[in-house]
Structure 1
Amino acid sequence: MGTPSTTPTSAASAASAPPARAHLKPLDVALGELLARAAPLPGPETISTFDADGRVLAQDLTSSLDVPAHDNSSMDGYALRTADWVEGGVLQVNQRIPAGSSGHALAANSAARIFTGAPIPPGADAVVMQEDCDAVDATEGQAHAGVRIKVQPQAGQWIRRRGEDVAAGAVVLHRGERLTPASLGLAASIGFDKLQVAPRVRVALFSTGDELVMPGQVAPADMKPGAIYNSNRFFLRALLLRLGCTVTDLGIVPDRLDATVAALQGASAQHDLILTSGGVSVGEEDHIKPAVQTLGELNLWQIAMKPGKPFAYGKVGAAHFIGLPGNPVSSFVTFLVLVRPFLLRLQGARETAVSPVAMPAHFDWPKADKRREFLRARCNAAGGLDLFANQSSGVLTSAVWGDGLIDNPAGQVIAHGDTVQFIPFSALLL
């Protein structure tokens, strides 16, 4: 009698064993790989400077003039030569220089009535604000009206020098800068009424999940067991618009592989990025991974961060694909940490990171996690950070209550008074 074969038993055991746990990629490594794939989109466009807020500049702006173009007064008052001042003395006022006009050289022992922005007349080396002066009528023995300067002037006071803001030939704004209201004013100050900016990223957005219901379609009292309102669709669209994207909202895709494949295939032709939420985990109803692999490639899968482990990146045709987790806080945080810099890089932005602020923790976090954590926290009146009590990835209230995220390293506990790294929402949501 031969020895019984163990092959069938071993095969059955292998078939019933759970799949090996996927290796979680460190966040910094994943972000680096993601940004390396984010080649800036071609084809800058020229738009009015009025309409360029939030866009990424696609050209260096070089000034062809000095700003200001001449020495000018920063106050309403009197321009004079400091050498002519005598305590209690009166200087004749023989010219008046409003903004937009120019004066003539000062005569000895004279002053010029001058207004904010007006050019400094030749010979003057100081301006005295009108609050420190007394006007004197011509009847006090003067051929012209005069002025008594009540304080001793200092050479150079209240004078804005030519070119002190911008020197001719200087690059005032660099390619890759994200434009702000202040930078639009600066561009206008050197004569740019139009600017070359990076094209808007065209994003197709959809959610997956048969449990999702749109607000307004079903009243809360009529919701079926297990149904939830689709909150992710609202904040993701808003975040995309804030980053200057054009958004095609494809709604909710049913939890079927064929429907997911069709949605991805249809979106890939006319968009630079397909962004989804839900369906990127490893459950039987999670069809994003096989759908993307059917049509293209999947390069990133599962990140060592909390919340937000089930994050995916790949390509569907020429379009980038990013799949976010379905839990709302996970989706929100992974967008800010990973998608935001990716979108900025697609627009050619030089700076994609937000620098954290070192602040004291006014709480205890005694249980370290194996993954890098992003904790929702709020600044308090004592100059420290309070922690939202429930850090679950499904509690969107924490993102509304909080002022930002604590970036807590893997394996790190936090004791009251420890210094932590805080990333304000005010910087992330610009």
Structure 2
Amino acid sequence: MRLETNDRAVLSLTMLGHAMVHTYELSVPLLLPLWMAEFDATAATVGLVAGAGYVLFGLGALPGGVLADALGRRPLIVACLVGMGASFLLLSVAPTLPFVALALVCWGLAASVYHPAGLSLISTGVEERGTGFAYHGMAGNLGIAVGPFAMALLLVAVDWRTAVAILAVPALVAAALGLRVDVDETAAVQADGGHAPPTDLGTFREHSVRLFAGGFALVFLVVAVDGLFYRGILTFLPSLLADSVPTVSLTGADVAGSRYVYAGVLMVGLVGQYAGGRLTDRGDVERVLALDLVALAVLALLFVPAANAGLLALLAVSAALSVVLFGEQPLLQATVAEHSDPGLRGLSYGFMYIGTFGVGAVGAAVAGAILTYADRATLFAVLAAVALFGAGVGFLLARR
């Protein structure tokens, strides 16, 4: 399928892939309470299980970025979609919690190649890069919201295994559509510009050293902080909301209303993704990024008081958190692009998502442990401290 312009073709492919990746990523938290009940596990245990998949989601991004530079971005995006669908089919037959962990690890490996491939494709194939990142981010947020909402609806009618199997189908359909999209991957950059992608260990080391010798080292630190906050709050958000959101009656059965509030809160993040993307075209991205982290810290400290104040206050703070949290994504992506060479964009985004989802996966385990052995007030105090540290690094980067 050839679209009218290369920009539209690139964005069609990447927006579809991004929506699918986050559909699966944020459907998993809805399953954690069910796994805790079925397998008699604590929050700390299921946090480690989820973290196993999420850490591979991040660690696989670096080899994924290298492959994207060497082999092309479109083939990797299609392979990612096939792998995610197959992994959720595997998850649907999981008889034990270790088997669940294995299926999530397979999903994490498959999903890990998407972000370096998709983001580098936008950065080299789309002329209006900031706007492209904005639309790409909005597609991701659509998946983040629609995926959990679809999972919540499925769980009303069927058991979790059947729901997971049904949710695997869209990725396989998307892969078939992706095979038909024709794109020019270098339309927005000079064909001979920048460095050649790394093809051996020595070249990889040389290019990595070159990348981190500049401001990218600070960028990576901010990215890792963002990942810790992101995973730390979203993994257990349905459970955190369940303490304040009443159940609802659907088809004669009482269903946790927090599932639908969770999906709605994530949908609000669309506003943040678009706003963040537009801000990247106005310059001074690093300073805006640092201010965004300050706002995250403030909102984290307000979460528990808002929950104690009532449902409306909790919804307001949760929505604001979603806007600010997801508004950070295009700002980070544009900052990485500013501090990397076009020929190594896949490598740079690979490192970015090692920080976001690899280091960030620790946030799931830490959040589970805090909720098991302490309380939610402690969790949000830790998250606020993490965000403030990232803000300090962001201001330092802006001064450079």
- Computing the radius of gyration over CA atoms, which structure comes out larger, 1 or 2? 1
| Larger helix proportion of the pair | 2
When normalised by structure 2's length, the TM-score is 0.25
| Larger strand proportion of the pair | 1
Instruction: Flag the structure with more relative contact order, 1 or 2, with Cα contacts below 8 A and sequence separation at least 6.
Output: 2
